[in-house]
Amino acid sequence: MKREVKPVSDRFIRTVCKRLSENKRVRRSLPEWGRIHIDRQLPFLCVYRGPNVPDNSQPERLVMGEASYLAATRHRKHQRQIINLAKNIAQTFKEIFGTFLIVEVWYTNDKTDNHLPYSQPAFKIISPAKSAILPTIEILEKALKKIKIRKASAEVERIASSKIAPKGLPPLLTAPEARQLGCHIIGIEVQHIFKDPESGEVFPLIRRELQRRFSRALKFYFFEFTNKHTVYRPQHYLSLGRWSMVKAVWEVDKQLAEISNRFDFLLQVTPINTDAAWTAFQRNRFEKKPEFVYRPLPIDPVLTKRRLFHVPVERIEDPSLAQLFREQQLELDRKLTLLFDRGTQRFMYGSLQLYGEVHDSLLNLATELLEKLSPHSRDESSGKTVDAKSFAARARDELHYFQKALPESSTRIDVRDDINGLMVPQGNLLIGTRTKIPQSRIEALIQHEVGTHVLTYLNGKAQPFRQLFIGLAGYDELQEGLAVLAEYLVDGLTRPRMRLLAARVVAAHALTSGASFVDVFHDLNKNYGFERRTAFSITMRIFRGGGLTKDAVYLRGLVQLLEYLKNGGTLEPLFVGKIAINHIPIIKELQWRKVLHPIPLIPRYLHDPQTLQKLNGLRNGQSILNLTKRSKK
């Protein structure tokens, strides 16, 4: 049943303006179609008046990601009420901020500039010939010129006009009305590049890209206008984005989380018969690939995909959040395909989509590390070891340290027979019963598993979005890079450990180059000096499921992280949850917008003055080869 939408009556307008004067959010549907959405008291309003198009082009989305917008029909019978609504909003906010800005956006399909390719973005800024805000419009012009779509830079033209409105519509404010109200209005005409004017074919990906980039340009301009002409002083241009989230965001986040939590990808592609497979491999004189056994799948990948693509990500107006959730949807799709292809030759190709290939630069670094770091190091072999129960007790001590800041945290540590080594699925540390840890590596592995993987899970749980503890798309690389960096910062990145990470890269490259399980095992054992059981473990991890290139992300993530630090990046924002390094700009945006909460936990080692000295060394360009030289012996 359709919800009844009341007309824009005088009472409707009074109600809206009263809520705005009390700094309450307004979100109301408008007649025929459209919406007024104002997040909080802000000195600007974006307006779009257009037809309710039957196709999927959604042109109104160009303004609907903003914190303050009015999207309405262009039908003439409603224009008087819409104009009255805009004027009253302007008057209400003018009294609060000293002035107010209306930016009306509309489209054109006119190709007056025939030299422009159809997909090249183009804008016209229409403003009064004389106005106090003309100098700030230069900021808008520069911001729009930075927009690129499909590698084509935008062309921007400025036009002076006394009438600012789409063709065939009356202006929201005439020049005399604007002066009388003490407000300002400008127009932005946008070339309609995401719909072919002849065939009517819609290009939704171009529309999404245009919206993201146009939204950022608007915020640059709003920031300049606000600081120059109003009494409001925002901290950052990104803080002018939305602060509150609508129901669609929480619903999509919930549905994606429910699908993700129905299976644990790494558990499902990791063999449960590692010891038996090793025994069989020995019995066959290391010349026959062992047979691996996996856990039964708890889901039907095809049916789960059907549910996955019913998640209505397209309903999210916020372009930044829509991007994050859409990436998550596509990554879950790839993981489900991999589970369906487990044990087949197709698996490796899906793995390359998910984790990428080994590029020459990373392979060369891995080879250099294997050649220059001796395989006969005594860094780990000369000391005592602790068993799984003792390591679990030490890990619980670290969790108790976290619980001082997060008493409600409920993550657990289990010692299990069906686990080989260490794993952290869904925030819980799982330790294989037969695991032995060298004493020189205890603190390093505590900070790797608990101080990084568990910590970012708990920090993500403290945020409003479930995706931050589940893991945003492509998060593994930064996660493992942070975890290996933690080993270095607590003096636990030993030479054998670094050689192990390098060997994983070499093995992953060999896999994708067509080498067999037996070939990779012998290469690691005979040419690179790894003991047979270690060589088997590396090879098993690379060939599990049918060929998993994930293990290359440890060294690649460390390289990526060192480059980030060298370029002036700081560590603290990286612990907000399980994110990829390309998400940092969006994470910072959401922090400025007060969508994300302050981070409750930071690793214990970041309180150590020696850690800060080491980080300064990394910022000065210390090489990866030198990271092992100060390891404890």
Q: Are 271 and 292 contacting, i.e. CB atoms less than 8 angstroms apart?
A: yes
> What pairing do the DSSP bridges indicate for beta strands 26-29 and 44-50?
unpaired
**Closest residue by Cα to residue 568 from 614, 611, 616, 607:** 616
Q: 215-268: per-residue pLDDT in tens? A: 999 999 999 999 999 999 999 999 999 999 999 999 999 999 999 999 999 999
Distance from C-alpha of 447 to C-alpha of 492, rounded to nearest angstrom: 10
Encoded amino acid at 244, one letter: S
Alpha-carbon torsion, ordered 59, 60, 63, 66, to 10 deg: -120
Mean pLDDT of 312-326: 95
Q: Is residue 112's pLDDT more than 80?
A: no
In order of start, what are the domains of the chain with their CATH numbers?
10-244 (3.40.630)
Amino acid sitting at position 544: R
Tell me the per-residue pLDDT of 403-428, one tens digit each, with 9 for 90 and over: 888 888 888 999 998 888 899 988 99
Residue carrying the six token digits 């409600």: 408
Span 80-98, mean pLDDT? 97
Range 28-48 burial, b when 16+ CB lie within 10 A, else e: bebbebbbbbbbebbbbbbbb
77, exposed or middle or buried, with CB in 10 Å at 0-12, 13-18, 19+? exposed
The strand pairing partners of 191, in sequence order, are: 108
Structure token digits, residue 14 = 């009074």
CA-nearest of 88, 91, 86 to 103 is: 86
What does DSSP assign to residue 399? H
- How confident is the model at residue 200, as a pLDDT? 81
Give pLDDT, residue 4: 58
d(CA 46, CA 67): 9
23-61: pLDDT as tens digits: 999 999 999 899 999 999 999 999 999 988 777 778 899
For residues 476 and 337, is the Cβ–Cβ distance under 8 A?
no
Q: How many CB atoms lie within 10 A of CB 236?
A: 14
pLDDT greater than 90 at residue 456: yes
The pLDDT-based confidence of 508 (bands split at 50, 70, 90) is very high
Q: What is the model's pLDDT at position 117?
A: 56
pLDDT band, residue 2 (cuts 50/70/90): low
pLDDT at 290: 96
- Distance of alpha carbon 24 from alpha carbon 22, whole angstroms: 6
The percent of residues in the chain predicted with pLDDT above 90, rounded, is: 84
pLDDT at 417: 87
Average pLDDT in the chain? 93
Q: What is the pLDDT of residue 380?
A: 61
Tokens of 385: 């070891």
End-to-end CA distance of the chain: give it in Å, rounded.
Answer: 72
pLDDT confidence bin for 384, thresholds 50/70/90: confident
User: Among 79-93, 194-208, 241-255, 294-308, where is mean pLDDT lowest?
Assistant: 194-208
Give, in order, the Cα–Cα distances in Å from 537 to each of 26, 262, 532, 533.
58, 28, 9, 6
Return the sign of the alpha-carbon dihedral for residues 488, 492, 496, 500: negative
pLDDT at position 592 is 95
DSSP-assigned letter for residue 356: -
Measured distance CA(156)–CA(579) in Å, rounded: 35
Task: Give the torsion through C-alpha atoms of 362, 365, 369, 372, to 10 deg.
Answer: 160
111 pLDDT above the threshold of 60: no
Express as a percent the part of the chain with pLDDT over 70. 96
Please say if the pLDDT value at position 72 is more than 50: yes
pLDDT band with cut points at 50, 70 and 90 for residue 631: very low
pLDDT in tens, 153-188: 999 999 999 999 999 999 999 999 999 999 999 999
What sign has the CA pseudo-torsion 157, 161, 166, 167? negative
> How large is the average pLDDT for residues 317-323?
95
- Residue corresponding to tokens 């404010």: 173
Query: Is the per-residue pLDDT at 622 higher than 90?
Result: no
CB neighbour list of residue 112: distance below 8 Å, 6 or more residues apart: none
Residue 630's pLDDT band (boundaries 50, 70, 90)? very low
Two tokens, residue 406: 């997060």
Check residue 420 and give its pLDDT: 81
Higher-confidence residue: 120 or 290?
Answer: 290
pLDDT at 58: 87
pLDDT tens for 116-137 read: 556 789 999 999 998 899 999 9
Query: What DSSP string describes 33-85?
Result: SEEEEE-S--SEEEEEEE---SSS--TTHHHHTSSEEEEEE--GGGHHHHHHH
What pLDDT score was predicted for residue 5? 63
How far is residue 230's CA from residue 345's CA, in Å, rounded to a whole number? 63
